[in-house]
A and B are shown apart, each in its own frame.
Chain A
Amino acid sequence: MKQKTTLWDVLVITLLVLGGLTMLVPFLWMISTSLKEPGSLFDLPIQLWPKKLHWENYREVLRVVPFGRWYLNSLIVATGLTFLNLTSGAMAGYAFARFSWRGKNPMFLLSLITLMIPAHVLIIPLFVIMSRLGWIDTYYALILPGLFDAFAIFLMRQHFLQMPKELEEAALIDGATPWQIYWKVALPLAAPALATLGTFTFLGGWNSFLWPLVATNSIEMRPLTVGLAVFNTNFSTEWTLLMAGLSLATIPPILVFLLAQRWFIRGLTLGSLKG
C-alpha cells in the first residue's frame, strides 16, 4: 500500500511510539532500582532515578549468589537440548522423508499424537523416572528429555520433502552410502531449517522453568530462571539486589536479540506453529 501520509497516520505513529516507550518503563524501573542505595527505596518522595549511582549492588549480588554458575547451567542446558534436538530430529525427519519402511506411517501418526499431549502431563512421571535413575539434580535430567521432539521431526521432514532429490541421487550413483549422503549432501542443504529450529529450541531451553524447577534442588545445578525465582523467595525484601540480579539476567539476552534479531524473529514465528 503506497499512500500519502495523512493526519491519521501521524496520530497512529505517535500512539505507537508512546506505547513502545511505555513498554520500556518496567525495564527502566529495574535499572533505576538496581542503582539505588539499599534501604532508600521507600523514602518519600520516591526518586525516579537515583542521584548517586550505587553500582555496589551489582558487586554484592555477584557475591551472594552464584550467578556465573547459573548462567553456565542455562548455557549448557540450552546448548545440549538444541544439539540433541537437531541431531535426532533431523535424522528422524530424513528417515520419514526419504526412506520407505515398514511401520513408517503408524510411527508418524504416533508422533503426531504426542504433539497433542501437553508437557505438563510429563512432569510427574518424568520426575519419578529421573529419581529412580538417580538423575535428579544432574544435567541428564535437564537435557535428555530433548532426545525426542515431534515438532523437530515434522519440521525437518517437511524441509527434506521440499528439497529436490537429484543431488542425493547423484551421490548414490557415485557410490555414496545413505549415511554419507545424509551427512554430506542433505544436511548441509538443510542448514537454514536447522538454524531456525536451533534458535527456537535454544530460546525454549533458555526460558524453560517448570521442569528445571522440579528436576533440580541444589543451588549449583539451577539454571538462571530457577535460580532467580528461588533467589526471589529468599531475598524478597532486598529489591535493590534482586533488580541488580535481574538486570544481569535480562540485559545480555536482550543484547543478543538486538544483534541477531532476524534469526530470533524467524525462530519465534516458527514457534507459533508449535505453541
Chain B
Amino acid sequence: MGGGVCRPHPTMRAFERFPWLFILPSLVGFLAFNAGPILLSLWISFTHWDVFQPLTLDTLLKSWAGLDNYRQMLEDPVLKKAFFNTLYYVVVAVPLEIVLALALALGLNRRFFGVKIVRTLYLLPTVTSVVAVGLLWRWVLNPYVGPVNLFLRWLGGKLEALFGALHLPVPATVHWLATQGPGWLEDPAWAMLGIIIASVWAGLGFRMLIFLAGLQNIDPTYYEAAELDGANNWQKFVHVTLPLLSPTTFLNTILALIGGFQVFGLIYVMTGGGPLDATNVLLFYLYQKAFGEFPPDMGYASAIAWLLFLILFGLTLLQWQLRKRWVLEEA
C-alpha cells in the first residue's frame, strides 16, 4: 500500500466543524469497553477485590493489596507449570506450523490442474471454529478407536511382520505401537502433543495463505537472473526465495507466537487443562481462577492477564528490534 498524504484542502474547511459526530460512536466504545476496562483490570490486579461486592470506589480502595497478587505468582507451582506448558506449546507448535506452511506454499505456488482444489483442502480447517476443531480431534485422537491410533497400530503390525520375516527381535517400541499406541489426551506425556497436532492442522492453511501471498509478490526477474547465473532449485530457494520472503516469514512467525501464547479454546474443549495440569496454559489458568473456581479470585486472575500482556508486549518490542536486522528491506 502506498501512503496517501492527508492535507486538508482549503474548501474542505467545512469538514472541521463535524469531526466529533463521526468520532462519537468509537469514542463511546473506546471509553466504555476498552480504556475503562483496561484501567479497571490494572486496578483489580492490585486488590483482593471480591466480585460479589458492589463495584464502588470504596470497595476497590478497601481491598487494595499492593503487590500481593504479583508476589503470589512467584510462589504458585501451578502458574509455573502453566507458564512452561505454554512455552512448550509455542516452541513446538509455531516452528512446526511455519515450516510445514512454507513447504506447502512453495509446493502450491505452481500451476497444475486442480491446484485450487488442493489449496482448498488445506484451507477447510481454517473456516472451522476452534471449538469444532477441538471436539473433532478429541474423537480422532481417541486411543482405542480413533483413526490416528488405528493407523499407528496398522503400521506397527506391518513393522512387526517385517521384523519377523527378517528373523530379527521385535523392538519394544514397535510392539507397543502395534498393540497400544500413544494415549494422547489421556496421557500427561502425550496430551500437549495431541493439542499441538490439532492446532497445526487447524492453522496450517491460514499460514500457507500468507506465505502464498508473499511468494506471489516476489518479482520473477530475480529467478530469471539466478537461472542465468546457473543456480539450481536449492540455490534459488536459499539465495532468492528465503531472503525476499523474510518479511512474510517474520510476520507469520510473530503472529503465530502471539496467537500461541493465547491458546485457550483447544485446551478448554480437548483436555480442560488436564490430565494432571499437563496442558494447563496461562490463559486457561486465568480463566480457571476467574470463572472456573469458587470463590473466584479476580485479583489474581487479573495479575495473570497482565503477566501474559507483558510477555506479548515483549514479543512486540522484540519484533521491532529484530525486524531491522533480520528482514530484508521491503520494496
For the side of the interface on A, what is the size category? Answer: 35 or more
Which of A19, A120, A206 lies in contact with B286, CB distance below 8 A?
A120
* Complex contact B51–A95 (CB within 8 A): no
The answer to whether B326 has its CB under 8 Å from any CB of chain A is: no
Question: Given the known A-B contacts A148-B34, A178-B18, A243-B139, are A229 and B23 also in contact in the complex, defined by CB atoms under 8 Å?
Answer: no
- Output the least CB separation between A158 and chain B (Å): 7
**A144 to B26 alpha-carbon distance, docked (Å):** 11
Question: Which of B15, B18, B290 has a CB less than 8 Å from the CB of A124?
Answer: B290
> Which residues between 235 and 275 of chain A lie within 8 Å of chain B, taking CB atoms?
239, 242-243, 246, 249-250, 253-254, 257-258, 261, 264-265, 268-269, 272, 275
Q: How far is the CA of A259 from the CA of B206 in the complex (A)?
A: 18
Contact code string B279-301 (vs A, CB < 8 Å = 1, else 0): 00001001100110000001001
CA distance A121 to B310 in the complex (A): 11
- Residues 27-41 of B, flagged 1 when their CB comes within 8 A of A and 0 if not, give 111101111111011
Cβ-neighbour of A242 out of B55, B135, B262 (below 8 A): B135
Please tell me if the beta carbons of B104 and A123 are within 8 angstroms of each other in the complex. no
Please report the C-alpha to C-alpha distance between residue A125 and residue B209 in the assembled complex, in whole angstroms: 35
Q: Decide if B86 is an interface residue (CB 8 Å cutoff).
A: no
The residue in A27, A42, A84 that gathers the most chain B C-beta atoms within 10 A of its C-beta is: A27
Known: A92-B25, A125-B38, A145-B29. A229 touches B15 (CB 8 A): no
By the criterion of a CB under 8 Å from any partner CB, how many residues of chain B are at the interface?
105
Pick from B132, B269, B291 the residue with the most CB of A within 10 Å.
B132
Given contacts A46-B145, A92-B22, contact A214 B291 (CB under 8 A): yes
Which residues does chain B contribute within 8 Å of A111, judged by CB atoms? 30
Asked if B162 is at the interface of the complex by the 8 Å CB criterion, the answer is no
Task: Indicate if the CB atoms of B118 and A20 lie closer than 8 Å.
Answer: yes
- In angstroms, Cα B12 to Cα A228, docked, is 52
Shortest Cβ distance from residue B138 to the other chain A in the assembled complex, whole angstroms: 8
B127: interface (CB < 8 Å): yes
Bound state CA distance, A242 and B269, in angstroms? 13
Give the residue of A29, A92, A129 whose beta carbon is less than 8 angstroms from that of B37: A129
Choose, from B2-10, B72-80, B89-97, B174-182, the stretch at the interface: B2-10
Interface residues of B in 126-161 (CB under 8 A from A): 126-132, 134-140, 144-147, 150
| B30 lies within 8 A of A148 (CB) | yes
B306 touches A121 (CB 8 A): yes
Does A232 make an interface contact (CB < 8 A)? yes
Taking a contact as CB atoms closer than 8 A, the residue among A91, A172, A249 that contacts B14 in the complex is: A172
Question: With an 8 A cutoff between CB atoms, is B258 at the interface?
Answer: yes
Indicate if the CB atoms of B15 and A87 lie closer than 8 Å: no
Bound Cα distance from A62 to B268, whole angstroms: 24
Bitwise interface map of A from 158 to 179 toward B, beta carbon under 8 Å scored 1, else 0: 1001110100110011000111
B121: which A residues are within 8 A, CB to CB?
A: 20-21, 23-24
Residue numbers in A under 8 Å from B243 (CB-CB): none
Q: CA of A65 to CA of B41 in the docked complex: distance in angstroms?
A: 36
Task: List B residues at the A interface (Cβ < 8 Å).
Answer: 1-6, 8-9, 11-12, 14-23, 25-30, 32-38, 40-41, 44, 51, 55, 104, 107-108, 110, 112, 114, 118, 120-132, 134-140, 144-147, 150, 201, 204, 206, 209-210, 213, 220, 223, 233, 251-252, 254-255, 258-259, 262, 264-265, 268-269, 283, 286-287, 290-291, 298, 301-302, 305-306, 308-309, 312-313, 316
User: Can you list 14 contacts pairing A with B, beta carbon distance less than 8 Å?
Assistant: A29-B147, A91-B23, A122-B38, A124-B41, A125-B40, A125-B302, A127-B291, A129-B55, A146-B29, A214-B287, A225-B132, A225-B265, A258-B120, A269-B209
Besides the known contacts A26-B136, A162-B4, 12 further A-B residue pairs in the complex with CB atoms under 8 A apart: A20-B118, A20-B122, A98-B6, A118-B309, A120-B286, A128-B44, A129-B32, A168-B12, A207-B129, A209-B131, A239-B139, A268-B126
Residues of A whose CB lies within 8 Å of any CB of B are 1, 5, 8-9, 12-13, 15-17, 19-21, 23-27, 29-30, 33, 41-42, 46, 84, 87-89, 91-92, 94-95, 97-101, 104, 107, 110-111, 114, 116-118, 120-129, 131-132, 144-149, 153, 158, 161-163, 165, 168-169, 172-173, 177-179, 182, 203, 206-207, 209-210, 213-214, 224-226, 228-229, 232, 239, 242-243, 246, 249-250, 253-254, 257-258, 261, 264-265, 268-269, 272, 275
